[in-house]
């Protein structure tokens, strides 16, 4: 199949040209992109272009949908379901640009544009999902589908369910309520994310005393100095961005400053100028209203109906099973670190702001392993080479820098991704370093997905956005081992997007159930501790020496250090998420106290008053993980079981890699994930695989 650019303008759908809105082709968001692989011409796009483009694309989408509704012919799979799938192409292009940049390179003006545009998009979505005549056409096809192939059947099923789950079958009065609630919810979640970013950026810890920083490793001091310099300061600055926050918490002995920093991080948007507490209440209550309106007891019941787990009961049982198997071991981890701290003269209760320092010090003593020992072998350029090498050895992929592709920031690089036979597969954008315009964390996203129309294939534009340690004046970017795992994790998502195959964009790549989407990412982390893999690329950035075998052995030995604690910590996030979204009555209580109660079964470290993660928990209150955070642990079970096959056959085994590519990475959402998993692995996954990998009970 040939590769094509994404054409500007409305999809055909047999709409008479006179019915199409006239497009202002001087707006680069509306014009055809005569660029390599039809990539976005970022340098030509100005903020003033977005709102007119959104308005035009929304009008275009409305015209496309009207043509489907008004089609006098009998509803068929092609003229209704496929036509609906193909509609909104121009709008998808603009949304893909704007909302991705809103996360990666935002400005105050962009945030204001988002607040103005979001209600229009929600109104359009509701107008489509609540359109009785459109739903009637879809329903008639659903009830009499005829002979369809698997991919077509899945599209039909998902399309019908999307309407049913978005209010299409409600009464007129309830449809109006649905419109009201979803409009409110979209605005609330957007505001939540903006408040969290603002609260994160609002806090800085300025240090002027050289004695305070003298004890810190050079990379930490230099990073703090560089942060200060970027702000026009001559001192040292720590922020709440992870690459700045964590090193100071890990290496500083100054308890007072660490407590101040920890409390600031733990109370982001909990009161103050960017307060999210009332927004949290409104979000969970609005979600509950939507769920009740659609006939569900709670929001989790509504969400989990369309997940691999299938039900609230299954998720609750899953989390409880893992908690029961690991909580005592997590408590033992806390006691071990506390007892070790006391041997160093620490007195009193080990608090959360003490944890990073003493747990790292214990690891260094017990396993002779610390970040400073490993980082010289994880220079970012070498890591990137190693990640690309892994994709090549497993799947035959090649990555070639393409300087002709426009990028949205000078930190970003773009690559052509080709298969072993030279076939173009995707464009990959890499964006590594923190900045005030970028939210914290790491993620994979797409500017465009995969589809095939009339034998002509459109390949994806995939972006990886991270917040790794910046290079300094004296040394390059050297990653921690955790950052190596993060790179591999997000790259797994990228592979899922880049290798997707299929006719329909809504079913390709990462468009799968939320509790399945983390399998391709989490399985990649397993290679981070494989000596056979590390020996291929992990060399000292100054000497070129391969990472010594004893360091690799120490990494492997330390892999399960605090595994139970880390597991229970993740379970606490999943359980508080489920607590918020299994509410069956409106919540008017105290956000902080609710969180304390919901996390009580998983509590290991002491509870600190005046802090709560809920008000900055973007995953569940602004992202797409509401009633879905358990999916990380669910996918860990999948990846532990799946990687055991690579361990059995060989970590670069082509037969296993090909099966994983064909059954997991390429299939997207075209089949039920459990069927795909069993086809690859030969059996359903069990939690035992994860417990064994953590080394517990041995």
With helix as H, strand as E and coil as C, how does 664-696 read?
HHCCCCCCCHHHHHHHHHCCCCCCHHHHHHCCC
- Domains defined along the chain, listed by start: 2-129+131-169 (1.10.1370.40), 203-266 (no CATH), 375-563+632-693 (1.10.1370.40)
pLDDT of residue 659: 98
Q: Which of 103, 222, 483, 490 is catalytic?
A: 490
Distance CA 10, CA 19 (A): 11
Distance CA 628, CA 514 (A): 7
Q: Which range is most confident: 20-24, 426-430, 530-534, 682-686?
A: 426-430
CB 298 within 8 Å of CB 645? no
Distance CA 91, CA 79 (A): 20
CB 308 within 8 Å of CB 677? no
- Token readout for 282 is 């409104």
Question: pLDDT per residue over 484-540, tens digit each?
Answer: 999 999 999 999 999 999 999 999 999 999 889 999 999 999 999 999 999 999 999
Confidence of residue 3 (pLDDT cuts 50, 70, 90): very low
Distance CA 52, CA 61 (A): 14
User: Residue 3: how many CB atoms within 10 A of its CB?
Assistant: 13
Residue 353: its H or E element: helix 352-367
Question: pLDDT per residue over 81-122, tens digit each?
Answer: 999 999 999 999 999 999 999 999 999 999 999 999 999 999
| Strand bridging mode 461-465 / 424-431 | parallel
- Token readout for 615 is 């008000």
Query: What is the pLDDT averaged over residues 627-649?
Result: 94
Residue 463: its H or E element: strand 461-465
Residue 18 has pLDDT above 60, yes or no: no
Residue 6 has pLDDT above 70, yes or no: no
Residue 251 CA to chain centroid, in angstroms? 29
Residue 19 has pLDDT above 80, yes or no: no
User: SS3 for 205?
Assistant: strand
Nearest CA to 36 out of 347, 404, 309 is that of 404
Distance CA 198, CA 272 (A): 11
Distance CA 192, CA 277 (A): 9
pLDDT of residue 519: 95
- Token readout for 382 is 């070498």
User: SS3 for 218?
Assistant: helix
Distance CA 51, CA 56 (A): 9
Residue 685 has pLDDT above 90, yes or no: no
Query: What is the pLDDT averaged over residues 353-357?
Result: 98
User: SS3 for 446?
Assistant: strand
- Token readout for 394 is 């497993």
Confidence of residue 469 (pLDDT cuts 50, 70, 90): confident
Distance CA 460, CA 452 (A): 11
Compute φ and ψ for 644, nearest 5 degrees: -60, -25
Distance CA 99, CA 93 (A): 10
Print the SS3 string covering 613-645: CHHHCHHHHCCCCCCCCCHHHHHHHHHHHHHHH
Distance CA 256, CA 248 (A): 12
- Token readout for 70 is 């008004």
Q: Global pTM?
A: 0.83
Indicate the angle between helix axes 631-649 and 673-681, nearest 10 degrees.
Answer: 20
Residue 303 has pLDDT above 60, yes or no: yes
Question: pLDDT per residue over 372-426, tens digit each?
Answer: 899 999 999 999 999 999 999 999 999 999 999 999 999 999 999 999 999 999 9
User: SS3 for 458?
Assistant: strand
Query: What is the pLDDT averaged over residues 43-50?
Result: 97
Distance CA 468, CA 479 (A): 7
- Token readout for 378 is 């994880």
CB 275 within 8 Å of CB 281? no
Distance CA 386, CA 346 (A): 41
Residue 8 has pLDDT above 90, yes or no: no
CB 530 within 8 Å of CB 488? no
CB burial of 101-132 (b: ≥16 within 10 Å; e: otherwise) equals bbbbbbeeebbebbeebbeebbebbbebbbbe
Question: pLDDT per residue over 446-459, tens digit each?
Answer: 999 999 998 999 99
Q: What is the residue-averaged pLDDT of the chain? A: 93
Confidence of residue 21 (pLDDT cuts 50, 70, 90): confident
Beta strands in 213-366 (DSSP E): 236-239
Confidence of residue 698 (pLDDT cuts 50, 70, 90): low
End-to-end Cα spacing for the chain: 53
pLDDT of residue 695: 82
pLDDT of residue 497: 98
Distance CA 427, CA 399 (A): 9
CB 612 within 8 Å of CB 279? no
pLDDT of residue 13: 42
Residue 480 has pLDDT above 60, yes or no: yes
- Token readout for 27 is 């707006």
Helices (H), 530-621: 531-534, 549-558, 563-581, 591-599, 618-621
Enter the DSSP assignment of 18. G
Q: Using alpha carbons, list the distances in angstroms from residue 50 to 37, 44, 95, 109.
A: 22, 12, 10, 11
The residue to which tokens 């392993």 are assigned: 369
pLDDT of residue 697: 58
Nearest CA to 622 out of 219, 268, 338, 197 is that of 197
Helices (H), 30-72: 47-69
**Is 365 tagged catalytic?**
no
């Amino acid at each position: 199949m040939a590769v094509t650019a994404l054409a500007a303008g409305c999809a055909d759908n047999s709409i008479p040209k006179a019915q199409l809105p006239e497009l202002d082709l001087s707006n680069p968001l509306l014009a055809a992109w005569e660029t390599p692989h039809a990539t976005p011409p970022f340098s030509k796009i100005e903020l003033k272009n977005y709102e007119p483009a959104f308005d035009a694309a929304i009008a275009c989408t409305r015209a496309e949908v009207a043509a489907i509704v008004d089609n006098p012919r009998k509803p068929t799979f092609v003229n209704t379901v496929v036509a609906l799938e193909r509609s909104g192409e121009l709008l998808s292009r603009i949304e893909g640009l704007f909302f991705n940049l809103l996360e990666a390179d935002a400005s105050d003006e962009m945030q204001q544009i988002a607040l103005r545009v979001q209600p229009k998009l929600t109104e359009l979505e509701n107008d489509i999902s609540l359109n009785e005549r459109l739903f009637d056409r879809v329903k008639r096809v659903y009830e009499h589908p005829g002979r369809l192939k698997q991919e077509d059947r899945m599209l039909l099923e998902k399309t019908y369910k999307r309407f049913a789950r978005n209010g299409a079958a409600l009464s007129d009065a309830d449809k109006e309520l649905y419109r009201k609630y979803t409009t409110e919810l979209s605005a609330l979640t957007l505001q939540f994310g903006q408040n969290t970013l603002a609260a994160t950026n609002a806090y800085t810890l300025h240090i002027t005393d050289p004695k305070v920083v003298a004890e810190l490793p050079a990379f930490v001091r230099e990073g703090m100095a560089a942060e200060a310099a970027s702000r026009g300061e001559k001192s040292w600055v720590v922020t709440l961005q992870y690459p700045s926050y964590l090193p100071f918490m890990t290496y500083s002995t100054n308890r007072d400053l660490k407590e101040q920093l920890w409390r600031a991080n733990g109370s982001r948007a909990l009161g103050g100028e960017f307060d999210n507490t009332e927004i949290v209440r409104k979000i969970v209550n609005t979600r509950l209203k939507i769920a009740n309106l659609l006939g569900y007891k709670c929001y989790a019941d509504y969400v989990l109906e369309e997940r691999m787990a299938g039900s609230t009961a299954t998720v609750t049982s899953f989390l409880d099973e893992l908690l029961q198997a690991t909580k005592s071991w997590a408590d033992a981890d806390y006691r071990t670190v506390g007892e070790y701290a006391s041997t160093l003269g620490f007195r009193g209760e080990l608090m959360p702001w003490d944890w990073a320092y003493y747990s790292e010090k214990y690891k260094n003593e017990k396993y002779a392993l610390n970040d400073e020992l490993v980082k010289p072998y994880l220079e970012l350029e070498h890591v990137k080479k190693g990640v690309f090498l892994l994709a090549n050895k497993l799947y035959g992929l090649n990555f070639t820098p393409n300087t002709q592709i426009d990028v949205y920031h000078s930190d970003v690089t773009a690559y052509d991704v080709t298969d072993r036979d030279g076939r173009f597969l995707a464009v990959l954008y890499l964006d590594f370093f923190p900045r005030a315009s970028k939210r914290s964390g790491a993620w994979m996203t797409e500017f465009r997905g995969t589809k095939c129309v009339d034998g002509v294939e459109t390949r994806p534009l995939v972006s990886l956005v991270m917040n790794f340690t910046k290079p300094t004046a004296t040394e390059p970017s050297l990653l921690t081992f955790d950052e190596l795992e993060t790179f591999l994790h997000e790259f797994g998502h990228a592979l899922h997007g880049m290798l997707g195959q299929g006719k329909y964009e809504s079913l390709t790549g990462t468009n799968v159930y939320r509790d399945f989407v983390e399998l391709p990412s989490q399985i990649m982390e397993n290679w981070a501790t494989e000596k056979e893999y590390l020996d291929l690329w992990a060399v000292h950035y100054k000497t070129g020496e391969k990472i010594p075998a004893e360091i690799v052995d120490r990494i492997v030995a330390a892999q399960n250090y605090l595994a139970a604690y880390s597991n229970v910590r993740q379970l606490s996030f999943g359980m508080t998420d489920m607590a918020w979204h299994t509410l069956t009555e409106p919540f008017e209580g105290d956000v902080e106290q609710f969180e304390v109660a919901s996390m009580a079964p998983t509590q290991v470290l002491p509870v600190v008053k005046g802090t709560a993660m809920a008000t900055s928990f973007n995953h569940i209150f602004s992202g797409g993980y509401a009633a879905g955070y358990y999916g990380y642990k669910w996918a860990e079970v999948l990846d532990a079981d799946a990687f055991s096959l690579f361990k059995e056959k060989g970590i670069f085994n082509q037969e296993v890699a090909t099966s994983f590519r064909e059954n997991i990475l390429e299939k997207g959402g075209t089949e039920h994930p459990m069927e795909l998993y069993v086809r690859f692995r030969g059996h359903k996954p069990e939690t035992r695989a994860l417990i064994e990998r953590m080394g517990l009970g041995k």
